[in-house]
Amino acid sequence: MAGSDKTQAEVVSPVSDQAMGAVPVATVADTEAALASAARGLREWRSASGFARADALHKIADELTRRAEEAKRMISLETGKPVAQAEREWTLAIDQFRWFAEEARRIYGRIIESRVPGGRFEVSREPVGIVGAFTAWNFPAALLARKVAPALAAGCSVVVRPSSQTPGVAMVMVDCMRANLPKGTVNLVVGPTATTYAPIMADKAVRKVSLTGSTRVGQQMIRDAADTVKKVSMELGGNAPLIVYDDADLELALNVSVPTKFANAGQVCVTPDRFFIHDSLHDQFVDSFVKRAKALKLGDGLDPSTQMGPLINAARFREIDAIVADAVKAGATLVTGGGRAPDLNSGHFFEPTVLTDVTDDMKVFDQENFGPIAAITRFTEEEEALSRANASDMGLSAYAFTRSPGRARRTVSALKAGMVGINSFALAASEAPFGGTNHSGMGREGGTEGINDYLDTKLAQIVF
């Protein structure tokens, strides 16, 4: 299978660094054909009732469930993440379609009393139109579902452009959708920016774009969207703080923070990067955290015993290596890790890494590391921890551990983030709004809020 000019691109395993296969690369003409297909699909899909759309999304969820074994293997192959994590991701993707199937039935308007005699205002909600969905490689199924499920529920058609590093997962998902939707409702293109992104952004018929990616890419998308005044929503980078107060349940904090930090080899936007540990607990926290990090089993994600897989590619490996070296040069203490995992000479396996004596101006603290690095510092006062935690342009997620309800409330109020976890990292759920503030993006995915960006509001004044 290839694009119209027969070009294909290899998909490389992060475990072996060897090609696993090839996928078609879209030309500009292919992307334009996908956009034309989406325009045709939109005409039929937008006229379907909310109940019909709900039924279709439930059927998609059924098909996704049927193909779960195939899908979790594909996720693990393309990303390197342990298969248990891949399975959880696929389950989350299915849940998005279930949730938004029901939201499709609840797209309500309202009536407003008019000042005009015999008149009334009617407010209705309509699908925004064609949607461009741009997804990242770290959660290739869940991120796609978060965009496509609400778009379909709202009555929009979609052109999906996944990361070129994880196209197989998107192909499986789109295949599950197409069998249950009018032709042209969902379309898929894979390829470089010039042949995929550029035509989508230039097409004035595309009325909304959604991105999960870096802040730099998001800033460029905002600029590009301005030319045709598209709606934009985006989940961008994070640099999440984790505060462990002196009254925290230390065992709970350790039990959940170690697997969370090193899930997907740390390549998670909402993972904690900056660890603020109260001085009274710091040494005990570090000792236990390091022991648990060292005990993690690295390896091929398809091995059920694997707890952490590789980084996605050689470039990411080099970037993580440079971040650690920069921190050590600046005075941080490397407690464990810091390089290639022993006995794993192929692929991109980087050891779980813990740095202490980290200062706020170090790159490892100042910027999102997006890797298996826990950068740990001390604090003594609550206000100090909150002030330092907020000293970032990012605002996606933030976390704290405390036994005090009052301190918990103060922390939630003070932290600059779209999402805050107290004694928990469980923020991603289909029923809850997911997203950030500041340089971490705009808009929300999930929850009753998740469908709003895919709808236009229409007002009618009707007088008889």
- Quickly count: other Cβ atoms within 10 Å of residue 315's Cβ: 10
**CA pair distance 78, 339, nearest whole angstrom:** 22
Q: What is the mean pLDDT of the chain?
A: 96
pLDDT band at 1 (very low <50, low <70, confident <90, very high): very low
Max CA-CA distance within the chain?
81
- What whole-number percentage of the chain has pLDDT above 90? 97
* Residue found under tokens 């660094």: 17
Q: Clarify whether 176 is annotated catalytic.
A: no
Annotated active-site residue in 103, 269, 368, 382 = 269
β-strand pairing of 157-161 with 130-134: parallel
CB atoms within 10 A of CB 244: 25
Which are the contacts of 288, defined by CB distance < 8 A and separation ≥ 6?
Answer: 250, 254
pTM of the predicted model, to two decimals?
A: 0.95
Q: Which two tokens stand for residue 75?
A: 């996720």
The answer to whether residues 157 and 39 touch, using CB atoms and an 8 Å cutoff, is: yes
Active site residue 156: no
| The pLDDT of residue 2 | 56
Residue 462, number of CB atoms within 10 A of its CB: 12
- Catalytic-labelled residue, pool 89, 235, 368, 382: 235
1-5, 43-47, 102-106, 172-176: least confident range: 1-5
Closest to 143 in 3D by CA, of 134, 156, 152: 134
Determine the Cα–Cα distance for residues 162 and 215; give it in Å rounded to an integer. Answer: 17
Share of the chain above pLDDT 70, in %: 100
- Residue where the block lists tokens 């990067």: 273
Q: What is the pLDDT of residues 238-279, one digit of tens each?
A: 999 999 999 999 999 999 999 999 999 999 999 999 999 999
What's the mean pLDDT in 396-401?
Answer: 98
Averaged pLDDT, 217-225: 97
Position 6 confidence tier, pLDDT thresholds 50, 70, 90 = confident
Q: What is the mean pLDDT of residues 189-207?
A: 97
β-strand 231-235 against 8-12: which pairing, if any? unpaired
Quick one: pLDDT at residue 194?
Answer: 95
For the chain, the first-to-last Cα distance in angstroms comes to 59
CA angle centred on 72, ends 130 and 13, rounded to 5°: 90
* Statement: residue 181 has pLDDT above 50: yes
Question: Which residues lie closer than 8 Å to 317 by C-beta, 6 or more apart?
Answer: 311, 340, 348, 350
Q: Residue 238: which of 259, 265, 266, 279 has the closest Cα? A: 266
Q: Label residue 302 by pLDDT band (50, 70, 90).
A: very high
pLDDT in tens, 23-54: 999 999 999 999 999 999 999 999 999 999 99
Contacts of 209 (CB under 8 A, 6+ apart): 131, 132, 133, 134, 200, 201, 221, 225, 230, 231, 232, 233
pLDDT band at 142 (very low <50, low <70, confident <90, very high): very high
| Angle, helix 167-178 to helix 142-154, in steps of 10 degrees | 30
Residue 193 contacts by C-beta under 8 Å, 6 or more apart in sequence? none
Phi, psi (5° rounding) for residue 463? -125, 130
Are the C-beta atoms of 418 and 396 separated by less than 8 Å?
yes
* 145: its two tokens: 């579902």
Q: What is the pLDDT of residues 362-385, one digit of tens each?
A: 999 999 999 999 999 999 999 999
Q: How many whole angstroms separate alpha carbon 85 and alpha carbon 74? A: 12
Other C-beta atoms closer than 10 Å to the C-beta of 99 total 24
